[in-house]
Structure 1
Amino acid sequence: MEKVKIYPAKLAGTVQVPSSKSMGHREIICAGLAGGTSIVDNISMSQDIEATMRVLRAMNVSVDEIPSMIEGRKALQITGTGHPIAAADNVDCGESGSTLRFFIPLGANLGCPLTFIGHGKLVSRPLQAYYDILDKQFVQYFNDNGNLPLTVNGHLMPGKFELPGDVSSQFVSGLLFALPLLKGDSEIIITSPLESASYVDMTLNCLAKYGVKIENVDGAHRHYLVPGKQRFKAQDSKVEGDWSQAAFWTVGGALGAGITASGIDFASLQGDKAVVEIMQRMGADIAQNADSVTVNSSTTQATVIDASNCPDIIPVLTVLAAVSEGTTKIINAGRLRIKECDRLAAMTSELNKMGAAITEELEGLTITGKPEGLRGGVEADAWNDHRIAMSLAIAAQCCAEPITLTGAGSVSKSYPDFWQDYQSVGGKIEVLA
Structure 2
Amino acid sequence: MSHPDPRPLQARAPGSPLAGRLGVPGDKSISHRALMFGALAVGTTEISGLLEGEDVLRTAAAMRALGAEVERVGPGAWRVSGRGVGGLVEPADVLDMGNSGTAARLLLGLLAGHPVFATMTGDASLRKRPMKRVTEPLSATGAAFWTREGGRLPLAIRGAADPLPIDYTLPVASAQVKSACLLAGLCAPGTTRVVEREPTRDHTENMLRHFGATVSVEDTAQGRLVTLEGQPELVAAPVLVPGDPSSAAFPIVSALLVPGSRVVVENIGLNPLRTGLITTLREMGAALRVENERVAGGEPVGDLVAEYTELTGVTVPPGRAPSMIDEYPVLAVAAAAARGVTRMTGLAELRVKESDRLAATFALLAANGVKATIEGDDLIVEGTAGAIPGGGTVETHMDHRIAMSALVMGLAARAPVTADDAAFIDTSFPGFATLMNGLAGTEAMAAP
TM-score, scaled relative to structure 2:
0.89
- Deviations 1:96-148 (Å, cap 9, x if unpaired)? 01101101022123323100111122112112233323444443221122221
Worse-superposed segment, 215-224 or 232-241: 215-224
- Deviations 1:387-420 (Å, cap 9, x if unpaired)? 0111111111222222222111110110011111
- Deviations 1:263-286 (Å, cap 9, x if unpaired)? 2347x3253323222111111122
State yes or no: 1:377 paired with 2:388: no
Aligned residue number for residue 315 of structure 1: 329
Q: How much has 1:225 moved relative to structure 2?
A: 2.5
Per the alignment, in what secondary structure is the counterpart of residue 271 of structure 1? coil
Per the alignment, in what secondary structure is the counterpart of residue 375 of structure 1? coil
Query: Does structure 1 retain, via aligned residues, the 8 Å contact 2:70–2:78?
Result: yes
Distance 1:319 1:91, change over 3 A: same
Aligned residue number for residue 19 of structure 2: 13
Aligned residue number for residue 122 of structure 2: 118
Q: How much has 1:36 moved relative to structure 2?
A: 1.4
State yes or no: 1:166 paired with 2:167: no
Unaligned runs of 5+ in 1: 68-72
TM-score, scaled relative to structure 1:
0.92
Aligned residue number for residue 32 of structure 2: 25
Aligned residue number for residue 296 of structure 2: none
Query: Does structure 2 retain, via aligned residues, the 8 Å contact 1:7–1:429?
Result: yes
State yes or no: 1:274 paired with 2:288: no
Q: How much has 1:381 moved relative to structure 2?
A: 2.0
- Deviations 1:216-273 (Å, cap 9, x if unpaired)? 234785433222221111122211111111111111111013232322347x325332
Query: Does structure 1 retain, via aligned residues, the 8 Å contact 2:347–2:378?
Result: yes
Query: Does structure 2 retain, via aligned residues, the 8 Å contact 1:129–1:163?
Result: no
Query: Does structure 1 retain, via aligned residues, the 8 Å contact 2:266–2:304?
Result: no
Distance 1:261 1:84, change over 3 A: farther
Query: Does structure 2 retain, via aligned residues, the 8 Å contact 1:282–1:302?
Result: yes
Q: How much has 1:297 moved relative to structure 2?
A: 1.3
Distance 1:238 1:372, change over 3 A: closer
Unaligned runs of 5+ in 2: 1-5, 293-301
Query: Does structure 1 retain, via aligned residues, the 8 Å contact 2:200–2:322?
Result: no
Worse-superposed segment, 39-48 or 123-132: 123-132
Per the alignment, in what secondary structure is the counterpart of residue 94 of structure 1? coil
Distance in 2, Cα, partners of 1:428 & 1:349: 23
1:192-341 to structure 2, matched below 5 A, reads: 193-194=197-198, 197-199=199-201, 201-218=202-219, 222-256=224-258, 257-265=260-268, 268-269=270-271, 271-290=273-292, 291-306=302-317, 307-341=321-355
Per the alignment, in what secondary structure is the counterpart of residue 111 of structure 1? coil
State yes or no: 1:428 paired with 2:444: yes
Distance in 2, Cα, partners of 1:416 & 1:378: 24
Distance 1:265 1:409, change over 3 A: closer
Q: Which amino acid aligns with 1:17?
A: V
Distance 1:88 1:361, change over 3 A: farther
Per the alignment, in what secondary structure is the counterpart of residue 65 of structure 1? strand
Distance in 2, Cα, partners of 1:172 & 1:380: 33
Distance in 2, Cα, partners of 1:378 & 1:41: 40
State yes or no: 1:180 paired with 2:191: no
Worse-superposed segment, 78-87 or 331-340: 78-87
Distance in 2, Cα, partners of 1:246 & 1:142: 38
Query: Does structure 2 retain, via aligned residues, the 8 Å contact 1:376–1:400?
Result: yes
1:90-109 to structure 2, matched below 5 A, reads: 90-109=94-113
Worse-superposed segment, 212-221 or 351-360: 212-221
Distance in 1, Cα, partners of 2:159 & 2:398: 35
Q: How much has 1:59 moved relative to structure 2?
A: 0.9
Distance in 2, Cα, partners of 1:29 & 1:142: 23
- Deviations 1:278-299 (Å, cap 9, x if unpaired)? 1111111223321322211111
Query: Does structure 2 retain, via aligned residues, the 8 Å contact 1:17–1:261?
Result: no
Query: Does structure 1 retain, via aligned residues, the 8 Å contact 2:407–2:445?
Result: no
Distance in 2, Cα, partners of 1:177 & 1:139: 13
Aligned residue number for residue 70 of structure 1: none
Distance in 2, Cα, partners of 1:400 & 1:269: 35
Per the alignment, in what secondary structure is the counterpart of residue 175 of structure 1? helix
Aligned residue number for residue 41 of structure 1: 48
Per the alignment, in what secondary structure is the counterpart of residue 272 of structure 1? coil
Distance in 2, Cα, partners of 1:333 & 1:55: 32
- Deviations 1:164-192 (Å, cap 9, x if unpaired)? 2415220111121231222x1122243x6
Per the alignment, in what secondary structure is the counterpart of residue 77 of structure 1? strand
Query: Does structure 2 retain, via aligned residues, the 8 Å contact 1:243–1:270?
Result: no
Identity among equivalent positions (%) equals 25
Q: Which amino acid aligns with 1:13?
A: A
Q: How much has 1:5 moved relative to structure 2?
A: 2.6
Aligned residue number for residue 133 of structure 1: 137
Distance in 1, Cα, partners of 2:367 & 2:53: 30
Q: Which amino acid aligns with 1:105?
A: G
